[in-house]
Structure 1
Amino acid sequence: MTAPARIAPPRTPRAPRSSDDLIQAERPVLAHNYHPLPVVIARAEGVWVEDVEGRRYLDMLAGYSALNFGHRHPALIEAAHRQLDQLTLTSRAFHHDRLAEFAASLAGLTGLDMVLPMNTGAEAVESGIKVARKWAYDVKGVPADRATIVVAAGNFHGRTTTIVSFSDDDTARTGFGPFTPGFRVVPYNDLPALEAAIDDTTAAVLIEPIQGEAGVLIPDDGYLTGVRDLTRRTGCLFIADEIQSGLGRTGRTLAVDHESVVPDVLLLGKALGGGIVPVSAVVARRDIMSVLGPGQHGSTFGGNPLAAAVGSAVVDLLKTGEFQAHAADLGELLHSGLAALTGKGVTGFRTRGLWAGIDIDPALGTGRAISERLLKEGVLVKDTHGSTIRLAPPLTITREELTGALEALERALS
């Protein structure tokens, strides 16, 4: 899993326009729903990206974990190329020859039974909510339109209108009401509060095993086991949103694996598409997923042949355990490197595998300011919640590259 020494030469001439010109060209024509760092990326390979002017950067964000296997991983590119020459889309109006393989391999990887393929992470969350509500009415016997789902404060599950209905992020929520009812918000990492919120109408508890957008918040040991025991005892479903935390990021295949917990419903996305196409999935026990019938849910592109081919190749990479072991090994280096910076500009940090939330001393600048300093050092990261930055490098990063990133962070803080 070593990165190439350099990015391959471009096949076509580099665009003559500068980064500044291209950034300015976006302003009048592109919705301003993002505030990206001032870099325009043109090519990438492994853990490295290159901008339109030929400057190289170490990618320590990896598309918010969508690029767990790095940019253009050769096995994933080969799978995509091979499928592009055969079949890319049928819609689910017809069967195709890649879907059963993908579903079976993903179910086998997760230890669950059935797969509902979708595209984006938010679609997986929305689909999981629908499955849980349908199960509550058909199986649990909750009265019609009374089902509730308990979620955690500080959550990030997406930005659709239903999902922001139970978000406490004012930026994502304000101005988008009226909101979807049926959700109860409790503090994260608080089992007594969770238990108090569950009643006979509760269809499910929906949580992130690690809250990524909130700053890589890791719950106390035993919390996930407690959620599993509580939901089983009270007769509701445990839905684990592993869209960011899953598929090798934390040093295990899933973040719930750190407590040997198997949820009833699992939400996956981001890395499942290998950084090539959007692929997400709801994976669940057979008795839960079987509540869906024809016409009750669907997606034109969900489970398309190209997505299934890439998703199957992703599962094949994870079956070896190599990426999980590498993330666990280098996670120790990441933890020790950040510990050495504590008190030297870092006021606190949290790591699990190759994932870190780093709290920056506000006296040194905002998380955005530190991200911009790291950009000048040739390292790409992104801020969240004011004074926190996140690191989530591709799982192909080498020890030397990770050390270089930590040294760049030390310089940015000094």
Structure 2
Amino acid sequence: MSMKEEEMIEKLRKEVEIPDKVRQKANEAFASIKKDAGAGAAEERAAERRTGGRMPGKKLWILAAAAILAFGTVTAGAAAYMKWSKSLSDGMAVEEEQKRELEDAHMAAPIDQSVTDQGVTVTMVQTIVDQHFLRISLKVEGYEPPQGEQPDFGRTLITIDGKNIDDAENEEDYVNLSSYFFDNIVQSPEDGKAVNLDGTPFTEDQEISYVLEDGSMEYNIVLFNAESENYFMEKPIHLELTGLGGLYLEGYRPNIEGTWSFDWNLERSDMVRACSPDIALGDTGAVVEKIEISPISAQVTYRFPRTKTKEKGYNDSGEEIDVELTEEPPELTGVKMKDGTTYSYLYGGPGSCGFSSDEGEEYIHTFGLNRILDTAQIESFLFLKSIPEDEEPLTEENFYIVPANEKTAGRNY
């Protein structure tokens, strides 16, 4: 095989990014190509003498076509990494390499189940799961909401391991559910303001659209369990959506009476970075004992003395009264990445916070993120110290900065 052929194949190798698990098949394909070329080496050398050392055009085309065919097969296998919903891929600003890592770790999984009823097809596209959160993304085709209507399903029924999440009998089984049709609006992690998916500022008078360019809509469900780690993993899950209509001031108004049901199991994933900084946040009395952060959520464990304060408030009759409040530690609101990028507003809800017992000083804050993070690239965590006046953007002066160093083995990766 000539040097030019080797260079051409190497160029094809570099231009097409493939995962490790299919790279061996690609190498075997190239080996086969080389073997076939080597079988006619004598004829090729004679042809080279006749053509001044250049590969005959037909042979070069056949070799190139074979190489492209081999890589075409590999690319088709790699394409599974790209089938993300728009609301999760663009809405949570996930990069292509992150998609591969999340799927390889079984944190993100394609489901690809479709159900059609009343002319409306609902497809479960994918899920993303970690130790406390499960995000489900569905595609809805065959329905376009009336002008000005906020679409919604009439009823969402979910059972996990045979248990209806609405019938939880103890805190360990309590699941918070939030759901919404994606409206092409996201929260900027830099300043917390609402922006359109294309990056333009959101304005109060703009028309909100739930329909994507291909005419479909995307419905997202977020499940949250604060008490039990890995609650959603390796369990049978059943989802049933009933009715499709719109939300109005008087409540839900049905337009279509259909039912769309799905059943699946999630694999186990432990893509969590754990840090134990044991750092005090200024003179607040709060000590950050542990931070667990996954690409989609964070949990902070503090040591924090219980302190009561009184503020003026009003009762149901409008009378001014003293309200007793329990002070809270400074919240983790952002991170600084190793490349210098700062995300000041990461809260994407839902979440929970509070003391873990009636008497102790352990305080836990758990919440979902509004973007997908490469947690290995986090340099430091940003805890809110103060809010600047006149809606000025937050700077490092407004944060307690906690380095992202690991003092314990934990579950770092």
Normalising to structure 2: TM-score of the pair? 0.24
* Higher RCO (Cα < 8 Å, 6 or more apart): 1
Pick the structure with more helix per residue: 1
Report which of the two structures shows the higher radius of gyration computed on alpha carbons: 2
TM-score normalised per structure 1: 0.24
